[in-house]
Chains A and B, each alone.
Chain A
Amino acid sequence: MGDSILKTVGLTKSFDGKNPVLKDIDFSINKGEVVVIIGPSGCGKSTFLRCLSLLENIDSGEILLAGKPIGLDKKDIHKYREKIGMVFQSYDLFPHKTVLQNIILAPVIVQKRKKEEVNREAEKLLERVGLLEKKNVYPRQLSGGQKQRAAIVRSLIMNPEVLLLDEITAALDPEMVREVLQVVLELAKEGMTMIIVTHEMNFAKAVADRVIFLDNGEIAEEETPQEFFECPKTERAKKFLNTFDYETSKI
């Protein structure tokens, strides 16, 4: 593979020490690539992202950033997390800080950048996602979609090497899903490296360079979105896509 930016080798994770949620995952993403991970609930896709951002300890295997295994020293972990951005399903803006304060907190205290400079960059980014006029507002006064756009900006301003998006639209009302996904699509166009867990199949089709179908803690399929959505190879993926179409068509 070319210039792999983030890579896992034999990553295994279990919560009880017995039944692995993730089994021996070999995964790699190149710079500028967008990988979408889909799969039935409980298949381990969120856990995978959480392992990648080191929120979970892994049982065995390795995570490599730009070809180098990551250290287990506290400092290394913080340095690594700085470079890997993560946006959660919901409720992750800090409620006691305004939108702007939320965004500039980490660049100022973690990256020790100058406040004025960060402020300027934050405003630029907020403008791009259409939230500039909300910069001095507290998260509670935002809609779900606005919150998620602000959360994306909060990760972006750290200039992450890779951005992890964990079902960021799952808790949103349908009419707000679009505005958030639009932002992600634009990021993809600009060459942002992203790993996305989502249930929005149309969005997955549109944004992904590569689709990974995770089932029962294993990578069951891995191919381009065209291949995957039109003729999935495994029975399990076919079944999954069928139930999915059925569910979405009902809505």
Chain B
Amino acid sequence: MWGSDVIMDYGFMAEYALMYVKAAELTIKISAYGIIGAFAVGLICCLIKELKIPVLYRIVQMYIELSRNTPLIIQLFFLYFGFPKMGIVLSSRSCGIIGLIFLGGSYMAEAFRTGIDSVPNVQRESAYSLGMTKRQTFLRIIIPQAVATSVPVFCANVIFLIKETSVFSAVALADLMYVTKDLIGLYYKTDEALLMLVISYLIILLPISFISSWIERRVRYAGFGNTGSV
């Protein structure tokens, strides 16, 4: 990749592979917490927006704009360095998880909303005209149809959020980037460190990417007796 002078020190790689495994574990763990949290926050925000709950509606609106229009790394800096000055001291780990939830929540909320908006209004009206309640309509008519549109967006969000975790080293989390930077700084084993970094991310992200495109195909083509054309 970098020309002919690349000779990998495989011994070095073997020696430090465990560090990457540990770092990857950390990335996965924090991503998992963050994504589950973001999903919950997104669902709550979406419900608040859907039901138009007076004051909360405004707050959710503001949160979504703030979260979508600022970079995660800046959010993390604020959490990690700014919050302690207000007496709220957060560990690197909590910062990472909270940051990811703060960022991801708005993306998940939008995913829910896209799904709900994609259901034509006449579906709601036919359900109402059959005497169904709001709840029945939402659960039995809107949600099942919304899922088909939302699931691909969720998958994309999951991948997006895992990628975003790469900035966690900024708040001193010993993640993959952190380890890589360390190895480069300490031993000047740039090629080996970078290669292992890329491989680690591929191992984490490729399967998820394949699974999500598989899911996407399924919901798009197999749903509701659809044979591919709309």
| B129 A84 Cβ-Cβ under 8 A | yes
Q: How far is the CB of B200 from chain A (nearest CB, A)?
A: 40
Q: Which residue of B lies closest to A95 (CB)?
A: B224
Residue in A85, A109, A111, A158 whose beta carbon sits within 8 Å of that of B140 in the complex: A109
Segment at the interface with B among A8-16, A73-81, A197-205: A73-81
Q: Does B213 contact A (CB under 8 A)?
A: no
| A138 B140 Cβ-Cβ under 8 A | no
| A110 B120 Cβ-Cβ under 8 A | no
A92 CA to B130 CA, complexed, in Å = 12
| A81 B130 Cβ-Cβ under 8 A | yes
B223 contact set on A, CB distance < 8 A? 96
Q: Indicate with 1 or 0, residue by residue over A232-247, a CB within 8 angstroms of chain B CB atoms.
A: 0000000000000000
Q: Which residue of A lies closest to B230 (CB)?
A: A140
**B interface: dominant SS:** helix
| B122 A106 Cβ-Cβ under 8 A | no
Q: Indicate with 1 or 0, residue by residue over A208-238, a CB within 8 angstroms of chain B CB atoms.
A: 0000000000000000000000000000000
| B131 A110 Cβ-Cβ under 8 A | yes
Residue in A79, A84, A88, A138 whose beta carbon sits within 8 Å of that of B125 in the complex: A88
Which A residues between 61 and 92 are near B, CB-CB below 8 angstroms? 74, 78-79, 81-82, 84-86, 88-92
A36 CA to B53 CA, complexed, in Å = 41
Q: Does A146 contact B (CB under 8 A)?
A: no
A111 CA to B131 CA, complexed, in Å = 9
| A85 B225 Cβ-Cβ under 8 A | no
Q: Given A109-B136, A109-B140, A138-B225, are A92 and B131 neighbors across the interface (CB < 8 Å)? A: no
Q: Which residue of A lies closest to B145 (CB)?
A: A96
Q: Does A154 contact B (CB under 8 A)?
A: yes
A74 contact set on B, CB distance < 8 A? 133
Q: Does A148 contact B (CB under 8 A)?
A: no
Q: Which residue of B lies closest to A54 (CB)?
A: B128
Which B residues between 136 and 163 are near A, CB-CB below 8 angstroms? 136, 140-141, 144-145, 148
| B145 A95 Cβ-Cβ under 8 A | yes
Q: Which residue of A lies closest to B147 (CB)?
A: A96
A89 CA to B132 CA, complexed, in Å = 20
Q: How far is the CB of A134 from chain B (nearest CB, A)?
A: 11
Which B residues between 189 and 230 are near A, CB-CB below 8 angstroms? 223-227
| B144 A96 Cβ-Cβ under 8 A | yes
Q: How far is the CB of A125 from chain B (nearest CB, A)?
A: 15
Q: Given A94-B123, A105-B140, are A86 and B129 neighbors across the interface (CB < 8 Å)? A: yes
Q: Which residue of B lies closest to A138 (CB)?
A: B225
| B130 A138 Cβ-Cβ under 8 A | no
Q: Does B126 contact A (CB under 8 A)?
A: yes
A154 CA to B131 CA, complexed, in Å = 12
A74 CA to B133 CA, complexed, in Å = 8
B140 contact set on A, CB distance < 8 A? 105, 109
B131 contact set on A, CB distance < 8 A? 78-79, 81-82, 106, 110-111, 158
Q: How far is the CB of A169 from chain B (nearest CB, A)?
A: 16
| B145 A55 Cβ-Cβ under 8 A | no
A154 CA to B123 CA, complexed, in Å = 13
Q: How far is the CB of B223 from chain A (nearest CB, A)?
A: 7
| A110 B225 Cβ-Cβ under 8 A | no
Q: Does A170 contact B (CB under 8 A)?
A: no
Q: Given A74-B133, A96-B145, A106-B131, are A141 and B225 neighbors across the interface (CB < 8 Å)? A: yes
Given A81-B128, A94-B141, A140-B224, 19 more A-B residue pairs with CB atoms under 8 Å apart are: A74-B133, A78-B131, A86-B129, A92-B122, A92-B123, A93-B126, A96-B144, A106-B132, A109-B140, A110-B130, A110-B131, A110-B132, A111-B131, A139-B224, A139-B225, A140-B226, A140-B227, A155-B129, A155-B130
> Contact residues of B with A, CB < 8 Å?
120, 122-123, 125-133, 136, 140-141, 144-145, 148, 223-227
Between A and B, 11 residue pairs with Cβ closer than 8 Å are: A78-B131, A81-B130, A86-B129, A93-B126, A94-B126, A96-B145, A106-B127, A110-B130, A137-B225, A138-B226, A139-B225
